[in-house]
Amino acid sequence: MKSFPIPLIDGYRNFMNGRYTAERERYRQLADQGQKPQTLIIACCDSRAAPETIFDAGPGELFVVRNVANMVPPYEPDGHYHSTSAALEFAVQGLRVKDIIVMGHGRCGGIRAALDPNAEPLSPGDFIGKWMGLVSSAAEQIQGNSVMTDTERQTALERISIRNSIANLRTFPCVRILEERGKLQIHGAWFDIANGELWVMDPDTRDFVRLDMEADAEEPHDPSSLI
């Protein structure tokens, strides 16, 4: 136990004495009945942009997939390993989620690396470099825009990447068919770490619009209804 991170041990104790104690029955129901989340969120690994925290979600409410720069690869049924695709398959085909949200965020390290033509691989495998190749075409176009500032280029590619991932989502037959039947909805969102703003992509224009906390307020939901 001495090698286990002390902050995590302290956090676990706080969890057991606080949230778990308050929601003990819900955890037991989830253990017995299984999970039935209605929403899949594809988010970044970044420790500053945790979906469960941003959306104040309880246990069992969200099915979350996190990878570098919250990206979705295109449908490729080959013999290779596909972690994000496997999670997507389970969420759509197994859990029958109703909504898929691709959520990016400001100051994304993966996007910053994609925009840096001089970025050096972190290891001989260059896994990040190859992964960020999913947005290399867009990154090259944005790099050549001398009118934009570095911050503007970063934000632009973060949002373009979300649109690109949504397009890739629709290359999966199970996603495309269910969306066409009206049984699945796809959304884009971008979270600003600096000020906590959430920007949601308009499905028609594909522009990102800041969520109005006053106009979009809804009645609190009942977490037990998702069990």
Burial class (CB in 10 A: 0-12, 13-18, 19+), 92: buried
Tens digit of each residue's pLDDT (9 = 90 or more) over 88-116:
999 999 999 999 999 999 999 999 999 99
Q: List per-residue pLDDT tens for the chain, 227 residues long.
A: 679 999 999 999 999 999 999 999 999 999 999 999 999 999 999 999 999 999 999 999 999 999 999 999 999 999 899 999 999 999 999 999 999 999 999 999 999 999 999 999 999 999 999 999 999 999 999 999 999 999 999 999 999 999 999 999 999 999 999 999 999 999 999 999 999 999 999 999 999 999 988 765 555 544 443 33
43 in Cβ contact with 70 (< 8 Å): yes
Short-list 198, 118, 214, CA closest to 162:
198
What pLDDT is recorded for position 79? 87
**Contact present, 161 and 69 (Cβ < 8 Å):** yes
Q: Count of residues for the chain? A: 227
